[in-house]
Amino acid sequence: MAPQGLKILVVDCVEKEALPLGGVDGWFRAALRKCSPKVEVKTVRASTPDWEKEVAWADAVMISGSPRDAFADDEWTHALMAKVARLLEKKKPVLGVCYGHQILGRVQGGKVERCEGGWELGETKVETTAEGAGSELLKGVPKEMKVMQSHRDCVLEVPGKGVLLASSPHTRVQAAQWAERVYGVQFHPEFTGEVIRGVWAARRDKWRDQVKFNLDEKLDQAKECPDGLAIFRNFLKMISSS
C-alpha cells in the first residue's frame, strides 16, 4: 500500500464536458485511490492561465492524455509546453500519461509523430528494459507488462540524458524517465474497460474499418490492467520517500 495523504495535481489536457465516469478527474481520482485511499487529488484544466500556482500545493503532478496531437505547432500546444517547461524547473515529481508523456518528451527535445503502425488500442504487452527493471517507477512489475493503450501518436526516441524504461514492437518508447523524478508512460494506467469503452463509444463507427485489428473485440474485452496501477503505486511511493 502506498503512503497516505499525498497531494496530486492532475493537469487535464482533454478539457471536455460530459465524459464518461467523471472524465479525467474521475479516472485519475479513482485509479489513485485504489493505490492509496487517502490520496488528495486536484484537477486543473491545461488551458487555465495560472494553473502553475497550484503546483505549490501538490507533492507531485500528473499530466493526462488528450485527443490532441502533441506534435502540433499551434498556440495551445506551445502554451502548454511553456507551462510544462516552467513546471520542470520546480523540481517536483511529474508523471505524464499518453499525451502528457509525449508533451514531456517534446519539451525535453524528443520528436513526436504518428505511429507507423497506426492505432494501438486495448490491452497490450509491453516489455521493460534493463534500465526500466531497475527504476523506481517500474520496480516489481513483470518484465512483460499488460497495459491499456489508446493512442496513434508516439515519441520516436528518448533524447539527451533521458532513459528508455519500456518498449514494444508497435511503440518503441512506451515508458521513459525524461529527467530526475520526471517520467512518462505511453499507456493509460487510469483506464478501466468501462472507461475506454466510454471514450471510444462515439469513435467506433468511424474507425472500425480503418484499423488493422478487430476494434470491437479489443474494446469489448478490455479490462483494468493491474500492472498499470502498480506503476501509479510506485510513483506514489517514490514521492513519499523523496
pLDDT at 4: 60
Beta strands 182-185 and 175-179 are antiparallel
Cell of 54: 497550484
Average confidence (pLDDT) over 203-228: 95
Residues 101, 50: contact at Cβ < 8 Å? no
pLDDT tens-digit readout, 94-131? 999 999 999 999 999 999 999 999 999 999 999 999 99
The SS3 of residue 143 is: coil
pLDDT at 221: 96
Selected residue with higher pLDDT from 39 and 21: 39
Residues 57, 42: contact at Cβ < 8 Å? yes
Question: The dihedral of CA 128, 10, 22, 75: what is its sign?
Answer: negative
User: Rg of the chain's alpha carbons, rounded to an integer?
Assistant: 16
pLDDT tens-digit readout, 26-41? 999 999 999 999 899 9
Selected residue with higher pLDDT from 190 and 242: 190
Residues 176, 162: contact at Cβ < 8 Å? yes
**Per-residue H/E/C for 161-212:** CCEEEEECCCCCCCEEEEECCEEEECCCCCCCHHHHHHHHCCCHHHHCCCCC
Q: Which residues contact 227 (CB under 8 A, 6 or more apart)?
A: 141, 142, 145, 146, 147
Residues 222, 127: contact at Cβ < 8 Å? no
Q: Which residues contact 148 (CB under 8 A, 6 or more apart)?
A: 122, 123, 124, 187, 188, 189, 191, 196, 222, 224, 225, 228
Residues annotated as part of the active site: 98, 188, 190
Average confidence (pLDDT) over 45-64: 94
The Cβ of residue 181 has, within 10 Å, a number of other Cβ atoms equal to 19
Give the residue among 206, 200, 225, 212 at the shortest CA–CA distance from 67.
200
Q: How far apart are CA 145 and CA 138, in angstroms?
A: 10
**What's the pTM value of the predicted model, to 2 decimals?**
0.96
